[in-house]
Amino acid sequence: MRNMRWSGGLAVAGLLLAGCGGGPGGGGGKISNDKIVLAVLNDQSGIYADTSGRRSVEAVKMAVADFKAKYGDKAVTDKIEVLSADHQNKPEIANSKAQELYDRQHADVILDVPTSSAAFAVATTAKNKKKVFIDVGAASTELEGKQCNKYTFHYGYNSYMLAHSTGAEVTKDGGKSWYIVYPDYAFGQDMQKTFSTAIKEAGGTVVKTDPTPFPNDNFSTFLLKAPGLNPKPKVLGTMHAGGDLVNLVKQYNEYKLRDKGVDLAVGLLVISDIHSLGPDALAGTRYTDMWYWNLDGTARTWADKFQAKAGVRPTSNMAGNYSAALQYLEAVQRGGSDKSDEVVKQLEGHKFDDVFARHATIRAKDHLLLHDAYLGQVKPASEVKEPWDYVKVLKTIPAAEAFQPQPDPSCSL
Amino acid sequence: MILSRLARSGGRSGPLLLAIGLVAALALPWMIYPPVALDIACWALFAAAVDLLLGFTGLLSFGHAAFWGGSAYCTGLIALHSGLPFPVAIVGGAAFAALLAVPIGYLSVRLTGIYFAMVTLAFAQMVYFIANQWRDVTGGENGLQGIPRELFGVDLSEPFYFYYAGLPFVLAGLFAAWRIVRSPFGRVLVSIRDNPARTRALGYPVDRYKLLAFVLSAGLSGLAGGLFAIGHGFASLEGVYWTTSGQAVMMVILGGIGTLWGGTIGAALVVQLQDYLATAGFQETGIVTGLIFIVIVLLFRRGIWGTARHLLDVRGRAASSGDTAPEPKEAVDTPA
Amino acid sequence: MLQQAFNGLVGGAFYALLALGLAVIFGMLGVVNLSHGAFYMLGAFGAFIALDSFGLNFWLSLVLVPPLLGLAGVVLERLFVRRLTPLDPLYNFLFTFGLALILQDLVKRQYGVNSQQYPRPSQLDGTVDLGLFTYPAYQVFVLGVSALTCLAVWLVLTRSRVGMIVRAATERPELTRALGIDVGRWVTPVFGFGIALAAFAGVLAAPMRAVNPLMGSDLIITVFAVVVIGGLGSVFGSVAAGFAVGLVSALGNLYIPSLSQTLVFILMAAVLLWRPAGLFGREEAFR
């Protein structure tokens, strides 16, 4: 009996020793108002590390520098800090870190947070702590629906935007019949539903939809099946991302489906995916993005500045983080305070134009950023003039059409 | 028997150390960030539950995520939809985990060694796929969000206070694990680990004992997982993914297999390390974790707790042999 | 339908090659090599690096990369694995798990998480007419080469003296030692050979699959299921189970796509409950 108690005592003592990292201090802390703290919480070591990750932190730092340069002495404060944390794609870590950033590090706003389960966890924390959270990286429309709250903003893109732009535009352009394959998890399931709706609204038909295992490296079954479906689909719509997308496209080309009259449309394509596959593998593929670095002069100038700092061309996520940070700081400047309620008031309904967001409005009713989206087409290698110049922008989809026309009724702020 | 020797050498200070341990558990949220403190407490119980099976029954389960995560979902659903106070939800989650363990355990305990590890992994993966597909109930990849954290109208959303509301569950769980290990039943388990054939020959229904140990271990894992879900306010797929099982095993090995309390240290270290790596600006978390595994396996197979105990033991008696047997092969008392 | 079955076999070819390596390593050393997926990934990256930095084409990579990584496996066995083999298999299980994490992150550190470009060899860019249907030439090649490799390994194991020793040691380790056969000196080469097989599969995968640091860890859990179905340590069983699982998952994708993820694990649980040692495993493994 005794012996185990002995052990138990030692164990907890060891736990105590191991716990010495933190230092004393109870629950909750004060927010110092003499400085603004922006925190980027995202995936810096996992599958989204190259899409956003540490380079988004760099983008946020650029926003701070630009803000300071713009206002100089007139800025509300010249003490602006940028923090970052890696949530490793684990919602639990995102949750603990978000609390810690708000409480201990006095973060006034958390930015980015890809992976929807992590984003929802952080949104709940933001609501409890009454602190601002601007999500750039997650695609779920639930952020401005069931999970919405007063302090959470959704910035950049969502599954509705991707589906209604690509799905509707490709259908109108003659791709009337679709075969949709999607990875079998929440994001893929949502994308499949919104794409199907958008295609039908645009007058097309969805011949068949198939879930695929996730992750998966062999898509042959679906690719072999595609040309044999009745009626034969004109477009293969894939909702895959990252490594799965690369696998699927490699195999799509192997089966020469394009020559068999089945075009490819991609739900979510990141410029680094094109880089991975080489433009020829995707040439002709249409997709929607929230931004493109070579969109116009403004975007390009910024992309050049970014490349000088970070060494690569920015993805749209990185630009989105830049814009979100900048608009947050502008809101603080306008309201003259970093108090969350004041900042939220300043952000709600705000109309603006910046490097990233064009014709932009932050809708007051659901905190969704409405802005122009772009239908892009991947160029063949022969037309690529410089590194990373992979995309031709076919069409700008106006802000009013790109996102949900009405706020989700299940959202009450 | 190492433990009793250790106890004999430090017997008088036993109650004192227990007191220190309790004080430490109580003081934890003052010393480190409270949500992290709660994570440590939950993982400590989970690790103890895994050790109950690994260290005392000789069964390496690579599928305990099913019980931790399964209970997290069940606890969350009870708390979300029934409005019952959270302790009821957690107990319900633990009961669900134990129940889930009956069929899985029934089919798995017939196997040993790596086969047991593989088949438990397979079952856990099935639970994972079900959780992923059954989105209406679990939220799929988005997770089950918005689990309330209140007790009879008292809002416990402040993690500092919630730690104290949750701590009794962890302590009760650890106490239960300790009782199990010290009971005649626990001694039979150890003898199964050391020599199943002999135990069977002595007339014990080995498989039934193993099954009971598996179910108890699952129940305790469920207790920890349920508390974890309430503490975070959500349950996610991460909880039923195989890496969660791996992490619990890692904590046990780090602390020392078959020490029961070692997992507590392992949990404290791993959770703190993860927390540190999140802001360390070091992207290669796998390198750090991998190195820890390798160093432990190559140099400190007894784990931290086991090594400390061994050193005390060596000091207590002259080191008798250079025995580096990794598993604590304790003498087994003949069951009464 | 026939075409789908054929495609399942192509997928199964990778499982078979990986499972074969795992099985000989397990049989010879009693080690469950969790870093097997990492070596598959390194094989693909080896091909990529050879092309990207040294301009070596696919064919040279196919010949050069597996032996090089096999050599790395030999060093690994000599330095570390060997120390742990006399202990509980758990320790090598954990050691190789840690190793896999490190290898994966080292590659990630250098090349990032995004996939790398690797083109199909131009000779195999087209399609082949197989009589009943046409099929991408590269996939036909993959199936042919891996089937031949498995056959060659099988012939070596059954027809040569060395092979017999290895196979005996793999499938009946206690008995072989009891007969006074010196198994020890074959341990290291077999480990290296198993690793080389994984790397070979990796090189084969580079032109048709995403080459990224996570490609191995995504695959390895399934391969474990394959080996368990075939029977740990059974050379023939692992190959047969590899092709069978490829077939089953392809047909699963075709008829019940939402369940296909779980199918392999259901199959594995069922096999284990029916024959605890796997389809072709030896019963001693089951105590």
Q: Is the pLDDT of residue A216 over 70?
A: yes
Per-residue pLDDT reduced to its tens digit, A375-393: 999 999 999 999 899 999 9
Six token digits for residue B181: 């290990």
For residue B182, the one-letter residue type is R
CA-closest candidate to residue C102, choices A95, B294, A236: B294
Q: Is the pLDDT of residue A45 over 70?
A: yes
| Most C-contacting residue of A222, A250, A273 (CB-CB within 10 A), to test interface | A250
Residues in C closer than 8 angstroms to B242, CB to CB, are 221
Residues with Cβ within 8 Å of B109's Cβ and at least 6 positions away in sequence, in order, are B59, B116, B207, B210, B211, B214
Domain span including residue C229: 2-285
CA-closest candidate to residue B222, choices B67, B89, B48, B62: B67
Give residue B152's pLDDT. 75
Q: B172 — contact with chain A (CB < 8 Å)? A: no
For residue A7, the one-letter residue type is S
User: What is the spatial distance between Cα B110 and Cα B121, in angstroms, rounded to a whole number?
Assistant: 15
Per-residue pLDDT reduced to its tens digit, C174-205: 777 777 777 777 888 989 999 999 999 999 99
Give residue A153's pLDDT. 97
Closest residue in B to A26 (Cα–Cα): B30
Q: Which residues of B183-205 are buried (b: 16+ CB within 10 A; e: fewer)?
A: eeebbbbbbbbeebeebeeeebe
Pairing of strands A109-112, A132-135: parallel
Residue C79: CATH number of its domain: 1.10.3470
Fold type of domain A36-157+295-371:
Rossmann fold (3.40.50)
Q: C53 — contact with chain B (CB < 8 Å)? A: no
Contact (Cβ atoms closer than 8 angstroms) between residue C14 and residue C146:
yes
Neighbouring CB atoms inside 10 A of B23's CB total 14
Q: Are the beta carbons of C113 and A49 separated by less than 8 Å?
A: yes
Q: Are the beta carbons of B278 and A86 separated by less than 8 Å?
A: yes
Average per-residue pLDDT in chain C? 87
Domain total in chain C: 1
The residue whose two tokens read 């060395």 is C162
Give residue B331's pLDDT. 36
Q: Is the pLDDT of residue A1 over 80?
A: no
Q: B313 — contact with chain A (CB < 8 Å)? A: no
Per-residue pLDDT reduced to its tens digit, B23-54: 888 999 998 899 999 999 999 999 999 999 99
Q: Are the beta carbons of C4 and A272 separated by less than 8 Å?
A: no
Give residue B122's pLDDT. 85
pLDDT band for C283, please (50, 70, 90 cuts): low
User: What is the DSSP secondary-structure string of C51-78?
Assistant: HHHH---HHHHHHHHHHHHHHHHHHHII
Question: Chains contacting A with at least 3 CB pairs below 8 Å?
Answer: B, C
Pairing of strands A235-238, A286-289: unpaired
Six token digits for residue A168: 């509707």
Give residue A11's pLDDT. 46
Q: CA of B306 to nearest chain A CA: how many angstroms apart?
A: 11
User: What is the spatial distance between Cα A235 and Cα A231, in angstroms, rounded to a whole number?
Assistant: 12
**H or E stretch covering C227:** helix C215-230
| Most C-contacting residue of A254, A255, A260 (CB-CB within 10 A), to test interface | A254
As a dihedral over the C-alpha atoms of residue A137, residue A139, residue A140, residue A145, rounded to 10 degrees, the angle is 80
Give residue A21's pLDDT. 37
User: What is the spatial distance between Cα A147 and Cα C200, in angstroms, rounded to a whole number?
Assistant: 48
| Most B-contacting residue of A96, A144, A216 (CB-CB within 10 A), to test interface | A96
3-state SS record for chain A: CHHHHHHHHHHHHHHHHHCCCCCCCCCCCCCCCCCEEEEEEECCCCCCCCCCHHHHHHHHHHHHHHHHHHHHHHCCCCCEEEEEEECCCCHHHHHHHHHHHHHCCCCCEEEECCCHHHHHHHHHHHHHHCCEEEECCCCCHHHHCCCCCCCEEECCCCHHHHHHHHHHHHHHCCCCEEEEEEECCHHHHHHHHHHHHHHHHCCCEEEEEEEECCCCCCCHHHHHHHHHCCCCCCEEEECCCHHHHHHHHHHHHHCCCCCCCCEEEECCCCHHHHHHHCHHHHCCCEEEECCCCCCCHHHHHHHHHHHHHHCCCCCHHHHHHHHHHHHHHHHHHHHCCCCHHHHHHHHCCCEECCCCCCCEEECCCCCEEECCEEEEEECCHHHCCCCCCCEEEEEEECHHHHCCCCCCCCCCC
| Most C-contacting residue of B118, B128, B207, B291 (CB-CB within 10 A), to test interface | B118
Residues in B closer than 8 angstroms to C101, CB to CB, are 286-287, 289-290, 293
Chain B window 81-140: which residues touch A at a Cβ cutoff of 8 Å? 132-133, 135, 139-140
Give residue A347's pLDDT. 96
State the Cα angle at A65 between A64 and A67, rounded to 5°: 65
Q: B142 — contact with chain C (CB < 8 Å)? A: no
Question: Chains contacting C with at least 3 CB pairs below 8 Å?
Answer: A, B
Kindly calculate the radius of gyration of chain A based on its CA atoms and give it in whole angstroms: 23
Residue of A215 and A135 predicted with greater confidence: A135
CA-closest candidate to residue A61, choices A38, A35, A36, A79: A38
> Which sign, positive or negative, has the C-alpha torsion B80, B86, B87, B88?
negative
User: What is the spatial distance between Cα B70 and Cα B134, in angstroms, rounded to a whole number?
Assistant: 13
Six token digits for residue A311: 């060494």
Residues with Cβ within 8 Å of B311's Cβ and at least 6 positions away in sequence, in order, are none
Contact (Cβ atoms closer than 8 angstroms) between residue A269 and residue A296:
no
Q: Is the pLDDT of residue A57 over 50?
A: yes
State the Cα angle at B169 between B27 and B6, rounded to 5°: 65
Residue of C169 and A301 predicted with greater confidence: A301
Give residue B316's pLDDT. 66
pLDDT band for C282, please (50, 70, 90 cuts): low
Residue of A31 and C192 predicted with greater confidence: C192
Q: CA of B260 to nearest chain A CA: how many angstroms apart?
A: 9
Residue-level length of chain B: 336
User: What is the spatial distance between Cα A264 and Cα A240, in angstroms, rounded to a whole number?
Assistant: 12
Q: What is the mean pLDDT of residues A247-268?
A: 91
Q: B289 — contact with chain C (CB < 8 Å)? A: yes
User: What is the spatial distance between Cα C195 and Cα C193, in angstroms, rounded to a whole number?
Assistant: 5
CA-closest candidate to residue C90, choices B260, B56, B257: B257
Per-residue pLDDT reduced to its tens digit, C108-156: 888 888 888 898 898 888 888 887 788 889 999 999 999 999 999 888 8
Q: How far apart, in Å, do the first and last CA atoms of chain A sit? A: 56
Q: Is the pLDDT of residue A242 over 90?
A: no
Q: B107 — contact with chain C (CB < 8 Å)? A: yes
Q: Is the pLDDT of residue C226 over 50?
A: yes
List A375's β-bridge partners, or say none. A288, A395
Measure Cα distances from A98 to B239, C31, C32 in Å: 19, 41, 39
Per-residue pLDDT reduced to its tens digit, A294-328: 999 999 999 999 999 998 899 999 999 999 999 99
Q: Are the beta carbons of A9 and B14 separated by less than 8 Å?
A: yes
Q: Which residues of A389-412 are buried (b: 16+ CB within 10 A; e: fewer)?
A: bbbeeeeebebeebbbeebbeebe
Segments making up each domain of chain A, as ranges: 36-157+295-371, 160-289+375-402
Residues with Cβ within 8 Å of C63's Cβ and at least 6 positions away in sequence, in order, are none
Give residue C102's pLDDT. 94
Q: Are the beta carbons of B242 and C221 separated by less than 8 Å?
A: yes
Measure Cα distances from A22 to A42, A58, A265 in Å: 22, 27, 50
Give residue A214's pLDDT. 83
Q: Are the beta carbons of B6 and A185 separated by less than 8 Å?
A: no
Q: Are the beta carbons of A210 and C115 separated by less than 8 Å?
A: no
Query: Crossing angle for the helix pair B34-57 and B184-194, nearest 10 degrees?
Result: 60
Residues in C closer than 8 angstroms to A210, CB to CB, are 253, 257
Facing A220 at nearest CB: one of C11, C108, C212:
C11
For residue A167, the one-letter residue type is G
What parts of chain B have a pLDDT lower than 70? 1-14, 17, 316-336
Contact (Cβ atoms closer than 8 angstroms) between residue C51 and residue C65:
no
Helix (H, G, I), strand (E, B) or coil at B60: coil
User: What is the spatial distance between Cα A374 and Cα A296, in angstroms, rounded to a whole number?
Assistant: 12
Q: What is the mean pLDDT of residues A28-54?
A: 78
DSSP structure class, residue B333: P
User: What is the spatial distance between Cα B274 and Cα C215, in angstroms, rounded to a whole number?
Assistant: 24
Per-residue pLDDT reduced to its tens digit, C87-101: 888 788 889 989 999
**Chain centre to alpha carbon of residue C286:** 24
Fold type of domain B32-316:
ABC transporter involved in vitamin B12 uptake, BtuC (1.10.3470)
Residue of B18 and A290 predicted with greater confidence: A290
Question: Chains contacting B with at least 3 CB pairs below 8 Å?
Answer: A, C
List A81's β-bridge partners, or say none. A37
Per-residue pLDDT reduced to its tens digit, B247-270: 999 899 889 999 888 899 999 999
List A362's β-bridge partners, or say none. A369
CA-closest candidate to residue C170, choices C189, C154, C183: C183
Q: C42 — contact with chain B (CB < 8 Å)? A: no
Give residue A33's pLDDT. 60
Q: A349 — contact with chain C (CB < 8 Å)? A: no
pTM of the model: 0.86
Q: What is the mean pLDDT of residues A56-64?
A: 96
Helix (H, G, I), strand (E, B) or coil at C211: strand
CA-closest candidate to residue A390, choices A310, A285, A303: A285
User: What is the spatial distance between Cα C108 and Cα C213, in angstroms, rounded to a whole number?
Assistant: 6
Facing A91 at nearest CB: one of B19, B25, B234:
B234
Helix (H, G, I), strand (E, B) or coil at C1: coil
**Among residues of chain A, what percentage have pLDDT more than 70?**
92
Contact (Cβ atoms closer than 8 angstroms) between residue C22 and residue C37:
no
Q: Is the pLDDT of residue A85 over 90?
A: yes
Give residue A9's pLDDT. 44
Q: Are the beta carbons of B30 and A15 separated by less than 8 Å?
A: no
Measure Cα distances from A412 to A156, A365, B30 in Å: 21, 8, 36
> Which sign, positive or negative, has the C-alpha torsion A267, A270, A275, A279?
positive
Q: Which CATH class is domain A160-289+375-402?
A: alpha beta
Q: Is the pLDDT of residue C242 over 80?
A: yes
Give residue A15's pLDDT. 44
Contact (Cβ atoms closer than 8 angstroms) between residue A154 and residue A368:
yes
Measure Cα distances from A88 to A94, B81, C6 in Å: 8, 30, 39
List the single range of A42-51, A365-374, C16-25, C37-46 with lowest mean pLDDT. A42-51
Facing B327 at nearest CB: one of C88, C99, C228:
C88
Give residue A26's pLDDT. 31
User: What is the spatial distance between Cα A105 and Cα A102, in angstroms, rounded to a whole number?
Assistant: 6
